[in-house]
Each structure stands twice: as structure tokens, then as C-alpha cells.
Amino acid sequence: MITEDRTETIEFLASPVTHGGATVERIETHASMVFVTGPRAFKLKRAVRYDYLDFMTQNLANEREFATTTLGIQYFINPVTRIICNYEWRRMKVSNPDAIAAGAARDNALAIAANLGDRASLQLTWSF
């Protein structure tokens, strides 16, 4: 999920005028944009949040670490019907609890992290 509008920054880095008239090649990944011009490259990290990647905050009190490991199995009942079963082990850690002011905010963050549970899912898919 992308959360910020960085249009001005992207236009600035993509402009040949910024780099002395040199051609700029733009390469996009799921987590960043790289602007390559001659021997130099400029990397702009996207403001994204995935279970394994979070560049949304610069505030230590808001940092959390998430990790999810999934085990899944699928069984084809017939050529058009299948059943899928997944189990997810989920972990969350409050990276810097001391950066959060003492009181309800810190207690809530630690309680949420301690109670994030594993998840099981069952899906029946029928193609017609």
C-alpha cells in the first residue's frame, strides 16, 4: 500500500535538467524507484508497508516489526474445484518501546504486539 504523494520529488529526479542534461533511466521495484544517469544512481524508497517491509515512519515511537510465515496446501477435488488450506505464524515486535511515552499508548502497543495471533484459513474455489 502506497501512502504518500511524491510526485514533485519523482519529477525532479526524472528531469534531465536536474542531472546537467544527461538522460535519466527510471527503474521501479516494489519498494523503490532508482534513477540512473551516467555513472550515478539515485534511489527513492517508496512509502510502502508490507508485512516484511515498512518505510512509512521516521518516528521511532511508531516503528513495529512484522513477520509472517505461511504453510499452505491445496487439493484438487476435480479439474474445476479445489480446496486450499493455509496456516500463518505471525509475529509483531514493538521496536522501541522506550520511545513511546509511558502510559496508555505504550501499554496498548505492547498489548497488541503480545496478542497478535496466528491465523488459519480455508478456501474453496470453483471455476465455471
Per residue in 75-104, pLDDT tens?
999 999 999 999 999 888 887 788 777 787
Q: What percentage of the chain reaches a pLDDT higher than 90? A: 34
Longest CA pairwise span in the chain (Å): 62
CA 24 to chain centre: 27
Q: With 80 as the cut, is the pLDDT of residue 50 above it?
A: no
Nearest Cα neighbor of 37 from 53, 54, 19 is: 19
In which band, very low, low, confident or very high, does the pLDDT at 55 lie, cut at 50, 70 and 90? low
Q: What is the pTM of this model?
A: 0.45
- Return the pLDDT at 47: 73
